[in-house]
Chain A
Amino acid sequence: DAKTTQPTSMDCAEGRAANLPCNHSTISGNEYVYWYRQIHSQGPQYIIHGLKNNETNEMASLIITEDRKSSTLILPHATLRDTAVYYCIVRVEGDYKLSFGAGTTVTVRA
């Protein structure tokens, strides 16, 4: 049962911001939004997570809409090394089951 919906793929230009959308219209009040990415044939890497406030770290920013039904991951200055599959996941804090969908394949082009 998919809790999130992401585009299958997207391209972006090197040096530009990449905005990755995610819909989670059935999110519960106690569910967090997580983003991971997976570079080809490697293990996924945690990027960022949030509950309702916007969050920023050294890798990305997470913008969550006020109704929490969707979010956007922003990579501020995409590089070729950001080419990866990006997963948006919703999860209740303390729930050990983390389910990954198919994600968005992001290709950064020079």
Chain B
Amino acid sequence: DGGITQSPKYLFRKEGQNVTLSCEQNLNHDAMYWYRQDPGQGLRLIYYSQIVNDFQKGDIAEGYSVSREKKESFPLTVTSAQKNPTAFYLCASSQAYSTGELFFGEGSRLTVL
């Protein structure tokens, strides 16, 4: 089955710890994205990557880091510098130069204790 796999689905972390969220896609898409969603809010773009070994900051990149060493993988690290990390994190992918249809994973819910 083609799609996007995010893991873990639920994650708990203590304050001051870094945590890495995994995102893997087998759709052969060039572009990948990370969004954050808080309760009752829309999605906010954290980082996006158009091609391997390249990525750009979105609207709320502070306290987050990413890497894009492989086309199919775009992990997100939530660092201790992120002041309010408890949220629902969504990964997405799309074809490069496409008309914009994004395919989303099922999300990872991070709770900081």
Chain A positions within 8 Å of B, measured between CB atoms, are: 32, 34, 36, 41-46, 49, 87, 91, 93-103
A41 to B44, CA, bound (A): 15
Chain B positions within 8 Å of A, measured between CB atoms, are: 4, 31, 33, 35, 40-45, 48, 50, 56, 58-59, 88, 90, 92, 94, 97, 99-107, 109
**Are B100 and A41 within 8 A (Cβ)?**
no
Q: A46-B102, A94-B97, A100-B35 are in contact. List 7 more A-B contacts (CB 8 A).
A: A32-B100, A36-B102, A41-B88, A43-B105, A44-B104, A93-B100, A100-B44
**Are B97 and A99 within 8 A (Cβ)?**
no
**Which B residues lie within 8 Å of A94 (CB)?**
97
Q: How far is the CB of A66 from chain B (nearest CB, A)?
A: 22
Q: How far is the CB of B76 from chain A (nearest CB, A)?
A: 15
Q: How far is the CB of A24 from chain B (nearest CB, A)?
A: 15
**Which B residues lie within 8 Å of A43 (CB)?**
4, 90, 92, 104-107
**Are B104 and A45 within 8 A (Cβ)?**
yes
**Which B residues lie within 8 Å of A95 (CB)?**
100
**Which A residues lie within 8 Å of B4 (CB)?**
43
